[in-house]
Amino acid sequence: MAKNDQMERVVNLAKRRGLVFPSSEIYGGFRSTWDYGPLGVLLKRNVKDAWWRSMVQLRDDIVGLDSAILMAPKVWEASGHVATFTDPLVDCRNCKERFRADQLPESGACPNCGMKDSFTEARNFNLMFKTYVGPVEDDASVAYLRPETAQGIFVNFQNAQTTTRKKPPFGIAQIGKSFRNEITPGNFVFRTREFEQMEMEYFVPPEDSARWYEYWCQERYRWYTDLGIPEEQLRLRPHATEELSHYSTETSDVEFMYPWGWGELEGIANRGDYDLSQHSKFSGQDLSYYDQEHDRRYLPHVIEPAAGADRATLAFLLSAYEEEDVDNGKGGTEQRTVLRLHPSLAPIKVAVLPLSKKETLMPVADEIAALLRPELMIDVDVAGSIGRRYRRQDEVGTPLCVTVDFDTLDDRAVTIRDRDSMSQERVPIDGLLGELRDRLNS
For 67, residues 6+ apart whose C-beta sits below 8 A from its C-beta are: 149, 152, 153, 155, 156, 174, 176
Q: Which residues pair with 70 in a beta bridge?
A: 145
Burial pattern 160-199, b for ≥16 Cβ within 10 A else e, equals bbeeeebebbbbbbbbbebbbbbbebebbbbbbbbbbbbb
Only one of the segments 71-79, 109-117, 132-140, 308-316 lies at the binding site for ligand ATP (rule: CB under 6 A); that segment is 308-316
How far apart CA 335 and CA 91 sit, in angstroms, is: 46
Region near ligand ATP per CB under 6 A, out of 187-195, 212-220, 294-302, 375-383: 187-195
Q: Residue ranges of the alpha helices (H) in 186-251?
A: 209-226
Q: Is 51 in the site for ligand ATP (CB under 6 A)?
A: no
Site for ligand ATP contains 268 (CB under 6 A) = no
Is residue 229 part of the contact set for ligand ATP (CB under 6 A)?
no
- The CB density around residue 114, as the number of other CB atoms within 10 Å, is 12
Nearest approach, Cβ of residue 244 and ligand ATP (Å): 11
Cβ distance 259 to 3 under 8 Å? yes
CB atoms within 10 A of CB 373: 13
DSSP-derived 3-state class of residue 164: helix
**Of 115-123, 260-268, 346-354, 424-432, which part binds ligand ATP (CB under 6 A)?**
260-268
Comparing CB distances to ligand ATP, the nearer of 91 and 182 is 182
Backbone angles phi, psi at 43, to 5 degrees: -60, -50
φ and ψ of 242, to 5 deg: -70, -15
Contact residue for ligand ATP among 76, 188, 195, 316 (CB under 6 A):
195
Give the whole-angstrom CA distance, residue 391 versus residue 353: 12
Q: Of 81, 191, 220, 389, which one interacts with ligand ATP (CB under 6 A)?
A: 191
The DSSP code for 246 is: T
Tell me which of 227, 306, 346, 378 binds ligand ATP, using CB under 6 A: 306
User: Considering beta carbons, is residue 265 or 355 the nearer one to ligand ATP?
Assistant: 265
- Does the protein bind ligand ATP through residue 264 (CB under 6 A)? yes
Count of residues binding ligand ATP (CB under 6 A)?
Answer: 16
197 binds ligand ATP (CB under 6 A): yes
How many whole angstroms separate alpha carbon 269 and alpha carbon 263?
17
What is the β-pairing status of strands 413-418 and 400-404?
antiparallel
Q: How far is the CB of 278 from ligand ATP (least distance, A)?
A: 17
362-372 vs 432-441: helix crossing angle, rounded to 10: 50
HSE (CB half, 13 Å, CA atoms) of 79?
21
Q: Are 228 and 320 in contact (CB under 8 A)?
A: yes
Q: Is 275 in the site for ligand ATP (CB under 6 A)?
A: no
Residue 78 vs 306, nearer CB to ligand ATP: 306
Q: Select the residue interacting with ligand ATP from 44, 146, 180, 349 (CB under 6 A).
A: 180
State the minimum distance, in angstroms, from the CB of residue 329 to ligand ATP: 43
Indicate which single residue of 169, 176, 267, 343 sits in contact with ligand ATP (rule: CB under 6 A): 267
Nearer to ligand ATP, 79 or 415 (CB): 79
* 201 interacts with ligand ATP by CB under 6 A: no
Window of 301-309, 317-325, 375-383, 411-419 that interacts with ligand ATP by CB under 6 A: 301-309
Q: What amino acid is encoded at 235 in this protein?
A: R
Q: Which is nearer to ligand ATP, 80 or 205 (CB)?
A: 80
Per CB under 6 A, the segment of 167-175, 223-231, 262-270, 381-389 that binds ligand ATP is 262-270
145 binds ligand ATP (CB under 6 A): no
Of 55-63, 188-196, 215-223, 279-287, the window that binds ligand ATP (rule: CB under 6 A) is 188-196
Least distance (Å) between residue 30 CB and ligand ATP? 15
Calpha distance 128→182 (Å, rounded): 9
Nearer to ligand ATP, 143 or 307 (CB): 307
Q: Binding residues for ligand ATP, per CB under 6 A?
A: 148, 180, 182, 191-192, 195, 197, 264-267, 306-308, 310-311
